[in-house]
Structure 1
């Protein structure tokens, strides 16, 4: 079974938990910890490249980072967060996704953000035409994450957007920001494998799986936590020069080094 077939099959039953990686080392750690697939966090990748989330790093840097992640992932499927395709033009967005596919990534997240549903549907259709049927297209709808529109109308709008994305060729639906169980049930009934973003208010993995959720993403959480740890240790070291906290929290050097691939 190819990586793309494996990735698609992982959405067929059960709950696919994606820790979200941001560079080659975090990719290797995710796989060593037991991740069945790896997805990138666009925020984490941007930070690792020295850019703010939402900025547009040079394409060569983005694709280079992704290619390194794919290389160390080996046979493990990799899906890339391409934000909105880094262009308002559907053909240009599809061209970027095509080059993403050529690195070896087998899936993408592509988002409507604060744009229109019709604009994202056009991009999805162009991507499908440019890449073909093997790429798993996860359509991200930001109604809840960005608080778009009145709360009482969001489910109706989500239903409308999902229909557009599905007709355009989307394989999955990502609804970050949703935590309410009754809302989750309605979204599941829309017919695309539902992906949620990890939030403290969500049910645990067993509860989500029982509801029928097919994918749970950490997003930028783990990357931010890693940088939080680095910040705390750095500040402590600068304050007193004590290396004991570093040694206590460090991943074993030999074990980490052994995970890396030449």
Structure 2
């Protein structure tokens, strides 16, 4: 059931205000309604969807334009319906090269019950993985215009994808983030930064809140270390679904290779799993 306007506005204001709070916050990434309920029950302040988590659930590769906009928004709507928390979405590259369609993605995200979303400057094409600067800027401008036209404060995150796609150019990454800030993006994000020095450089170069990816395959940082660098928001991307897949892989490997079922001793008890699927907090 779609959110009513008052509930969506409440969530939007709460999400906006989190970015101005004295301390940075962790925004974990559920990949379905069930994981959204679990994270809600643990007391997190907001949730964000994960494109990789959804792609893996659908049996597809991430980052190759194999998940449609409609599938992404249906997943995000299910997450939003499963929680009373603000939900932002990984909207990939807006599911289009055309700026007008990027703006349409933001409008459709709002219709799905979201109060925030991120737009990448990645193309999804291996031969040319990142949009040229001018094209990337046009797309962020279109996303900002669509977000600002909504009847609630939609938090738009603009992402510079260089480091995720083998372009370790910190100067260009900062240039892009500064331009996205000037265009009106609310949050800035450069996933895949190689070290805390790069994180500090990004935070010092912009005036808007910076999101940093933790729990990736690279360096592992603590929330305290990232806070000391000036980070305002910490996401964990595909780490949770990858951890879940690791558990499944280990379990079925035991079954296949040993013919034993010892993994079940560490499984969540059925009653506890069932209880976690109960609604928590207020809903529309």
Q: TM-score, normalised by structure 1?
A: 0.90
Match runs of 1:30-41 below 5 Å: 30-41=39-50
Alignment correspondent of 1:252: 269
Q: Deviations over 1:151-183 (max 9, x none)?
A: 5xx333233212221122211111111142332
Contact 1:42–1:83 (CA<8 Å) still a contact in 2? Answer: yes
Rate the CA distance shift 1:177–1:57 in 2: closer, same or farther, 3 A: closer
Write the mapping of 1:67-82 to structure 2, written as runs, cut at 5 A: 67-74=77-84, 76-82=85-91
Root mean square deviation of aligned Cα: 2.0
Cα deviation digits, residues 79-136 of structure 1 (max 9, x gap): 1001100100111121122111111111111111211232232122212222326111
1:218 counterpart = 2:236: yes
Give the Cα–Cα distance (whole angstroms) in 2 for the partners of residues 182 and 60 of structure 1.
38
Structure 2 residue runs without a partner (length 5+)? 1-8, 123-129, 280-284
Matched residue pairs, number? 256
The residue that corresponds to 1:120 in the other structure is 136
Alignment of 1:161-176 (within 5 A): 161-176=176-191
Name the CA distance, whole Å, in 2 between partners of 1:17 and 1:131: 23
SS at match of 1:191: coil
CA distance in 1, matches of 2:182, 2:28: 29
Distance 1:244 1:155 in 2: 47
Query: Cα–Cα, structure 1 residues 59 and 195, in superposed 2: closer, same or farther, change >3 Å?
Result: closer
Structure 2 residue aligned with 1:187: 202
SS of aligned partner of 1:73? coil
Q: List runs of 5+ in structure 1 lacking aligned partners.
A: none
Q: Which of 39, 48, 53 is equivalent to 1:44?
A: 53
SS at match of 1:144: helix
* SS class of match (1:145): helix
Normalised TM-score (structure 2): 0.83
Matching residue of 2:32: 23
What SS class does the counterpart of residue 163 from structure 2 fall into? coil
Residue from 74, 97, 107 that aligns with 1:98? 107
